[in-house]
Structure 1
Amino acid sequence: MTEPQYGSARSDDDTWDIVTGVGYTALLVAGWRAVHTLCPQPLVRDDYARHFITASGDPYLMGLLTNPATSEDATAFPRLYAVQTRFFDEFFRSAAAGGIRQAVIIAAGLDCRTYRLDWPDGTTVFEVDQPKVLAFKASVLAAHGAQPKAHRKEVAADLREEWSIPLQEAGFDPHQPTAWSLEGVLPYLTGAAQKTLFTRLDELSASGSKIGIGALGSRMDQRRLVELEAEHPGVNMSGDVDFSALTYADDASFDPAAWLSDRGWAVDPVHTNPELQASYGSTPAVVDVRIDAIMHSQYITATR
C-alpha cells in the first residue's frame, strides 16, 4: 500500500492519514474554516476547527491561524468553503425539520456537524471515513471535552470498498428515511467508483430519503490557479497541496443529478457556489467568481 504525500499522484490502493495524501485536504479545509471563523461576520462558525490544526502541528496551517489574512483575495478559499459548509448545514437542518432522524456523512473528514448543529432528539449520525482520519478526529475532540449533539457512530471504511456492510453493522437502518451528505468527496473517486457509491446509496435509501451533494469544483487546474495568483496575490491558500494530483481526470464523466433523476429521485435546481453566496445575502467577490469559473462548483439536493 502506498501513502501519497501532498502533491503525489493517486493510485487505486493508496491510503492516508490526516497529514498525507487526500487526508491532508481535510486538515487544510479545517484550517480554512478556522480562518473564516475569525472574520468579523462569518457565514458559519466552526470553533472546533482550530483544535485540529493545533493538534497536527502543521507549520503552514499554524501560520495561517497565527497571522490570518484579511484581504479579499487571500480569504477567497476560506470564504468559498464557508459557503459550502453553510449549504450542508442547511441541508441537514431542513432534513431534520422534515422528520428525518438518521443521517450519514460520507467522507466525514474533520467535519463537526454532529457537534455544531442542534439535532432533534432521537437522531443518529453515522460518520464514514478512513480509520486514521476518524481516530485523529475523535482524539482531538475528546481532549477538548467536546460532546456530540446527536447519537454519533463512527464507520471506519474505504469508499472504494464495500462500505455499506460496516455501515449497517454500526446500526444503520435502510428502512428509515436517511439524510446523506457527499461533501467534496466525488473528485477524489474515479467515475466508476462514483457510480458504485451512488448505486449503494440508492439501494440503502428508503422513501423520503434526501441527499446533499457538493464540491467547490470537480477538479483543480493547478496551472490556471497559478495564473490567477498573479492577478490576485495570496489567493492560493493551499501550501504545498496540488489538488490536481489528488483528483481523477475522469470524474466529470459521471453526472450525479442526471443519475438520480433517472432513478426516480426528485432533483432540485443545481446551484454554483457564487449563486449560493448571493442567496445567503453576500455579493460574490470578483476573485470568487473567477475561482468558480476554473473549478466549476456544483451543489445538488434530491429527495427519494
Structure 2
Amino acid sequence: MTTEARPTSGVSRTAVIIAQARATEDARTDRLFTDPYAQSFVDAVGWIQVAEAGRLNQGHFVLRTRFFDDYFRAAAQAGCRQAVLVAAGLDTRAFRLEWPAGFRLFEIDLPGLLAFKEAVLGVREASPSCDRKTVRADLREDWPAALLAAGFDPEQPTAWLVEGLMMYLEPADNDRLVDRIGKLSAPGSRLAIEHINQAYTELPQLKAVHARLRRVGAAWRSTIEDPCAWLGAHGWTATVVPQTELAARHGRPVPELTDPARVGSARMWLAEAVRSAPEVSAAPGRA
C-alpha cells in the first residue's frame, strides 16, 4: 500500500479515528453493531492517539453509527432502493448491513481515501451485500455529474447520508451541498446529517481537539443553530434525535460531551429528514 493512499492527515485522518471507535465497539459482547472490517483499517495505518475529548466522545461515535444504521434500515423498508454516502470515508455499511435485493449504494469521496479503502477491503476479500459503486470526486467540484455517470437514478427515492462532514465545510458550501442533494432527490427521498452548534465549538474540553484539528488541516468551519429550520428551507422536513434518547434506547450512558446536564446548550446534532418541498434560496438557522 502506497504512503500516498494512507489517510493520515486532514479530514481523512478523522475517518481512521472513527474506525477505531467502531473496532472497539465490535469487540464488545454487547455491541450495538458489527463491523468486522474496522480493525483492518486501523491495522493498516496504526492506532492514532486521540485527545481526551476524543476519548470522551467514543460513546457518541457508537450511538451515531447505530442511529444511521437504523436510518438506512428504515429507509429501505420505506421503499428506497438506492443510497448515497457523501464523503463516505471508511464506512463499511455496504458490507456489514443487510440490504434488499437490487439495492444500490454509492460512496463518494476523494480518490486517495477510496484507494486506501479498496486496498484494505481487497486484502480482506470483502464482498458487499448490495450493488456498491465508488465515486471518486471532490465535493467542491461537480460531484453530481460523477454520481450520475456511475449509474445513480435521480428519479428513484434515495437515502442520503452526510456523516461527520458538515462542520469541516464553510456555511456556503453546506448550503450548496444540500441544494445539490435536493435537486437529485425524488419524492420519498430521505436525508440524514450530523452537525454542531456554536456552543459546542466553545466547550473548554475541546480546546486541545481544535488545536490538533488545525495542525492536520481539519479545522471546524461552520455551525448550525436550528437544523430543522435550515433543512426546512432547503425542502426537507427534519427531526433531531438527541443522544439522550439514543442512549436510553440502547441502554448506554449518555456520552459526556453530548449530555445537556454537563454541556448545557452545546449540541452535536443528529437529524433525519424526508423530502418535503422544492428548496428555496433562504437558509435560516446556520452560522
Task: Tell me the TM-score normalised to structure 1 length.
Answer: 0.78
CA distance in 1, matches of 2:105, 2:257: 36
- Note if contact 1:272-1:299 (Cα within 8 Å) is conserved in structure 2: yes
- Give the aligned partner of residue 280 of structure 1: 250
CA distance in 2, matches of 1:149, 1:283: 32
1:37 lines up with 2:9 in the alignment: no
CA distance in 2, matches of 1:106, 1:183: 8
Alpha-carbon shift at residue 299 of structure 1 (Å): 1.2
Amino acid in structure 1 at the alignment position of 2:219: T
- Give the aligned partner of residue 20 of structure 1: 9
Structure 1 residue ranges without an equivalent (≥5): 1-14, 62-72, 228-235
Deviations 1:118-158 (A, max 9, x none): 00000000000111111101110110111000000001111
- Give the aligned partner of residue 181 of structure 1: 161
Alpha-carbon shift at residue 88 of structure 1 (Å): 0.6
Secondary structure, aligned partner of 2:271: strand
Alpha-carbon shift at residue 226 of structure 1 (Å): 6.0
- Note if contact 2:87-2:162 (Cα within 8 Å) is conserved in structure 1: yes
- Give the aligned partner of residue 114 of structure 2: 134
CA distance in 1, matches of 2:175, 2:48: 38
Alpha-carbon shift at residue 22 of structure 1 (Å): 1.1
Amino acid in structure 2 at the alignment position of 1:276: L
- Relative distance call for 1:47 and 1:243 in structure 2 (3 A) is farther
- Give the aligned partner of residue 70 of structure 2: 90
- Relative distance call for 1:253 and 1:42 in structure 2 (3 A) is closer
Alpha-carbon shift at residue 276 of structure 1 (Å): 1.9
Alpha-carbon shift at residue 200 of structure 1 (Å): 0.4
Aligned with residue 108 of structure 1, among 88, 91, 94 = 88
- Note if contact 1:274-1:292 (Cα within 8 Å) is conserved in structure 2: no
- Give the aligned partner of residue 232 of structure 1: none
- Give the aligned partner of residue 265 of structure 1: 236
Alpha-carbon shift at residue 16 of structure 1 (Å): 9.2
- Note if contact 2:5-2:115 (Cα within 8 Å) is conserved in structure 1: no
- Give the aligned partner of residue 282 of structure 2: none
CA distance in 1, matches of 2:120, 2:24: 18
Amino acid in structure 2 at the alignment position of 1:159: L
- Give the aligned partner of residue 7 of structure 1: none
- Relative distance call for 1:109 and 1:56 in structure 2 (3 A) is same
Structure 1 vs Structure 2: percent identity of aligned residues? Answer: 37
1:152 lines up with 2:132 in the alignment: yes
Structure 2 residue ranges without an equivalent (≥5): 276-287
Secondary structure, aligned partner of 2:240: coil
CA distance in 1, matches of 2:225, 2:7: 28
Aligned pair count? 269
CA distance in 2, matches of 1:254, 1:193: 17
